[in-house]
Amino acid sequence: MTIARFTGNMLCALAGAWSRLWFQNSPTSPLELARMGIGAALLLHYVLATPFLFVFWGETGWMPSDLVLKDHDPWIQSVFFYFAAPWQGIAFHALFLLCCAGFMVGWRTSWVKWVVLIGQISYDYRNPVLPYGVDKIVASLLFIMCVAPIGRAMSLDRVRAVRATKLKNLEATLPPYSSPWAGACTRLMQIQMALLFFYSAISKLRGDDWWSGDAVWIVFTTGEHYNPLVLNVLASQYWLVNVATYGTILIEIAYPFLIWQRPTRPYLLAAAVFLHLQFAILMGLFYFSFVMVMGQMSFVRPEWLARLGEAWKRKVGEMEMIYDGKCGYCVRSMAWFLAFDGLQQISVRDFRRNPSAVVSDAKMEKALHLVLPDGRALPGFEAYRYCVLRVPGLWWQVPFFYIPVFSRLFGHAIYHWIAANRGRLSSLRLGPARAMLK
Amino acid sequence: MISKPWRERLTYSAMSAFVAWHTVAMAIAPAPDDGVAVQSLRVLFQPYLSLFRLDNLWDFFAPSVGKGSQLRYIIEDSAGEQHTFVPAENLSWYHPSYFWFRSWYYAIIETPETYVDSAAAIFCREHASLHPVAITLLGVEEGDFAPDDQLSGKHPMDPEFVTVNTLKRVKCPGS
């Protein structure tokens, strides 16, 4: 009886520890940061690959598929093995690029992420000579992101979900997504990064170049990473070579052990980011370094991001957008606009139901207004212009709103035209907004 | 119809099984193959590792950094004149093709029997305006280069630091 109870208690404790290790209710924000960064890097990388599509991955290039398919492992698959005509490769490449863009912005993430993974694996396996470290890292991280519930934050999918809620009630909020599975997938990515550092350090410890402290010198003397400026500095101050060589191993060996602890994590993250910045600047490994830094995002604590968001909100101050609740077009526009306000910095007021003490109804008939923390009220285009710089979800609009002269020249005209014709625009398509107006 | 508590238990078990499976896969992929345990696990995991492209060693610049190499080729034109080219010299650090082309050049140097003929055909086509008759591909192996060499103004690709190997001489198609 005692042994049975002891065993039972032990199993319960183990199950509890297992749950705490893997299945803590977590938001997806660290994975979303990695998604956006890796998506952007992939998009740029493969857009630049477009002129070389047939040279590297086509039948007319230097790696015909029969060369790859010789002694072929059936588990190694690429969609390119099944394309018979060049247009099929072009079509897939175009689809892949669109999906990379979708992955970056979090549009239909639940399926585009799989196309991105299949594409990445397909390019790698179609020409196995080309991939180097970064391609392997990208595939490993993409796989984890594919099984993870990504796209639930910092994404257009989230914007669409918030907009749908706002269309029913502009003041309604959609609670942030979190789940035990998101916690498990974040943990998987953390383990992947820790293992990567661990094996990278272990393999270096097996080499004489690293033990002797000369490895960094040898790297910079090879044609691939030759950098005369760096070599001159290193040659005259050779101790820097030893510091850089041993420092690299030290960071790589410390990372998998010290990244887990709360007090040491920020230092290890900073060290890893610093290391990869050096790789980018001195060795030209921009893509590799950027992807590695994005992998580190899995170790960014969600509470750090929450604190950062709160600090930003405090710095900017609260803003109140006053709109015309009887105008369907205005309500739909507000729903779109507010859907990008992930930090909920902007509160709303329908002047028809709840008149403002700051802006008169007569002014409100002409344009919406934004009331700032200091009591000033900005009308129409200026209101939007003020917001896009201060709401992180709207930063992508900054180029449109801040082109010197042109933005204001055309922006005011477009806004006034829309405001003057909002009645007509409202009748075009009311949809769910009609319910709100009733 | 499965009841809600059982559905939750099944989901939890499936999630647990997956994270355990994937963690083992991530751990054994780069592990040295000299242990019996790793070898037997590898047999089980290999299809999964291959299919999802997870079979990686994470051995960047290790165990040894290794010496670099450079591909050169000499085109003989119809007048008997020779033109030497170093294709990597035209590549930009800031473009991903830098690494793709270099990988291709390494592949030609390391396994000439596989890639030399197709590379020769491509280079001959590229220099059609020279009316090439034949092309000779060369692999240049980099040697040791000391800090004093750098300080005395030398370059790692200077003749005293490299070994030049002829990979193959190929007649240009249509010549």
pLDDT digits (tens, 9 = 90+) for B126-151: 999 999 999 999 999 999 999 999 99
Tell me if B16 and A218 make a contact (CB, 8 A cut-off).
Answer: no
Q: What is the CA radius of gyration of chain B?
A: 25
CA A289 – CA A310 distance, rounded (Å): 29
What share of residues in chain A are helix, strand, coil (percent, to 5)?
70, 5, 25
Between the alpha carbon of residue A176 and those of residues A25, A109, A158, A189, A313, the distances in Å are 12, 17, 9, 21, 17
Structure-token match 């604590």, residue found: A301
Mutate to test the interface with A, among B11, B19, B69, B108 (most CBs of A within 10 A): B19
- Select the residue of B65, B97, B106 nearest A218 (Cβ to Cβ): B65
CA A264 – CA A251 distance, rounded (Å): 12
| Position A288 pLDDT exceeds 50 | yes
CA A256 – CA A34 distance, rounded (Å): 19
Range A106-123 average pLDDT: 98
Tell me if A207 and B65 make a contact (CB, 8 A cut-off).
Answer: yes
Strands A319-323 and A369-371: antiparallel
Both tokens assigned to B53: 């492209």
Residue A335 has a CB neighbour count (10 Å cut-off) of: 22
Which among A247, A265, A140, A267 has a CA at the least distance from the CA of A204? A247
Fold of A316-437: Glutaredoxin (3.40.30)
Length of chain B counted residue by residue? 175
Tell me if B63 and A18 make a contact (CB, 8 A cut-off).
Answer: no
Which segments of A73-186 are extended strands (E)?
178-179
Residue A350 has a CB neighbour count (10 Å cut-off) of: 21
Tell me if B62 and A143 make a contact (CB, 8 A cut-off).
Answer: no
Cα angle A331, A337, A338 (rounded to 5 degrees) comes to 90
Tell me if A125 and B62 make a contact (CB, 8 A cut-off).
Answer: no
Between the alpha carbon of residue A413 and those of residues A401, A416, A425, the distances in Å are 13, 5, 16
In b/e form, how buried is each residue of A46-84, taking b as 16+ CB within 10 angstroms?
beebeebbebbbbeebbbebeebeeeeeeebbbbbeebe
CA A155 – CA A337 distance, rounded (Å): 14
Report the pLDDT value the prediction gives residue A212, as an integer from 0 to 100: 96
Tell me if A287 and B57 make a contact (CB, 8 A cut-off).
Answer: no
The nearest alpha carbon in chain B to A186 belongs to: B19
- Select the residue of A121, A215, A224 nearest B102 (Cβ to Cβ): A224
Is it true that the peptide bond before A128 is cis, omega within 30 degrees of 0? Answer: no
Tell me if A209 and B51 make a contact (CB, 8 A cut-off).
Answer: no
CA B83 – CA B127 distance, rounded (Å): 10
Mutate to test the interface with A, among B60, B86, B140, B155 (most CBs of A within 10 A): B60
Mutate to test the interface with B, among A43, A209, A218 (most CBs of B within 10 A): A218
| Position B29 pLDDT exceeds 50 | yes
Contacts of B107 in chain A (CB under 8 A): 129
Report the pLDDT value the prediction gives residue A62, as an integer from 0 to 100: 85
| Position A435 pLDDT exceeds 60 | no
The nearest alpha carbon in chain A to B111 belongs to: A129
3 state DSSP class of B59: coil
Which among B171, B170, B172, B150 has a CA at the least distance from the CA of B161? B150
CA A53 – CA A232 distance, rounded (Å): 38
CA distance between the termini of chain A: 68
3 state DSSP class of B134: strand
| Position A208 pLDDT exceeds 80 | yes
Contacts of B118 in chain A (CB under 8 A): 62, 64
Which among B111, B100, B106, B109 has a CA at the least distance from the CA of A54? B100
Q: Evaluate whether B78 touches B133 at the Cβ level (below 8 Å).
A: yes
Tell me if A195 and B57 make a contact (CB, 8 A cut-off).
Answer: no
User: In angstroms, what separates the C-alpha of A37 from chain B's closest C-alpha?
Assistant: 17
Contacts of A278 in chain B (CB under 8 A): none
Both tokens assigned to B73: 């080729």
Q: What is the DSSP string of A7-52?
A: HHHHHHHHHHHHHHHH---EESHHHHHHHHHHHHHHHHHHHHHGGG
Q: What is the CA radius of gyration of chain A?
A: 27
CB pairs under 8 A between A and B: 158
User: In angstroms, what separates the C-alpha of B115 from chain A's closest C-alpha?
Assistant: 8
Average pLDDT, chain B: 93
Percent of chain A with pLDDT over 70: 97
Q: Give residue B99's Cα distance to chain centre.
A: 9
Q: What confidence category does residue A429 fall into, taking pLDDT thresholds of 50, 70 and 90?
A: low
Q: Evaluate whether A368 touches A381 at the Cβ level (below 8 Å).
A: no
Tell me if B53 and A204 make a contact (CB, 8 A cut-off).
Answer: no
Q: What is the dihedral of CA B101, B105, B106, B107, to 10 degrees?
A: 100
Question: Identity (one letter) of the amino acid at B134?
Answer: A
| Position B61 pLDDT exceeds 50 | yes
User: In angstroms, what separates the C-alpha of A254 from chain B's closest C-alpha?
Assistant: 16
Which segments of chain B are extended strands (E)?
69-77, 82-85, 132-142, 162-171
Q: Evaluate whether B112 touches B137 at the Cβ level (below 8 Å).
A: yes
Q: What confidence category does residue A438 fall into, taking pLDDT thresholds of 50, 70 and 90?
A: very low
Both tokens assigned to A35: 């998604």
Looking at per-residue pLDDT, the higher value among A299 and A328 belongs to A299
Tell me if B16 and A22 make a contact (CB, 8 A cut-off).
Answer: yes
Mutate to test the interface with B, among A130, A187, A282 (most CBs of B within 10 A): A130
- Select the residue of B47, B58, B151 nearest A200 (Cβ to Cβ): B58
Q: What is the DSSP string of A119-143?
A: HHHHHHHHSTTS--HHHHHHHHHHH
| Position A281 pLDDT exceeds 50 | yes
- φ/ψ of A350, rounded to 5, equals -90, 110
- Select the residue of A121, A195, A219 nearest B27 (Cβ to Cβ): A195
Report the pLDDT value the prediction gives residue A399, as an integer from 0 to 100: 94
pTM: 0.93
Q: What confidence category does residue B90 fall into, taking pLDDT thresholds of 50, 70 and 90?
A: confident
Which among B107, B86, B149 has a CA at the least distance from the CA of A67? B107
The nearest alpha carbon in chain A to B94 belongs to: A284
Q: What is the dihedral of CA B124, B130, B134, B135, to 10 degrees?
A: -60
- Select the residue of B46, B118, B142 nearest A222 (Cβ to Cβ): B142
CA A292 – CA A24 distance, rounded (Å): 25
| Position A242 pLDDT exceeds 80 | yes
Q: For the ranges A58-72, A81-95, A202-216, which has the lowest average pLDDT?
A: A58-72
Q: Evaluate whether A52 touches A89 at the Cβ level (below 8 Å).
A: no
Q: Evaluate whether A234 touches A293 at the Cβ level (below 8 Å).
A: no
- Select the residue of B27, B65, B115 nearest A209 (Cβ to Cβ): B65
CA B114 – CA B137 distance, rounded (Å): 13
CA A316 – CA A65 distance, rounded (Å): 57
CA distance between the termini of chain B: 75
Q: Evaluate whether A17 touches A49 at the Cβ level (below 8 Å).
A: no
Task: Convert the pLDDT of each residue in B96-124 to its tens digit.
Answer: 999 999 999 999 999 999 999 989 999 99
What share of residues in chain B are helix, strand, coil (percent, to 5)?
50, 20, 30
- Which segments of chain A belong to CATH 3.40.30? 316-437
ipTM of the complex: 0.93
- φ/ψ of A369, rounded to 5, equals -135, 150
| Position B70 pLDDT exceeds 90 | yes
DSSP state of A353: T
Mutate to test the interface with B, among A21, A203, A208 (most CBs of B within 10 A): A203
The nearest alpha carbon in chain B to A77 belongs to: B51
User: In angstroms, what separates the C-alpha of A105 from chain B's closest C-alpha?
Assistant: 23
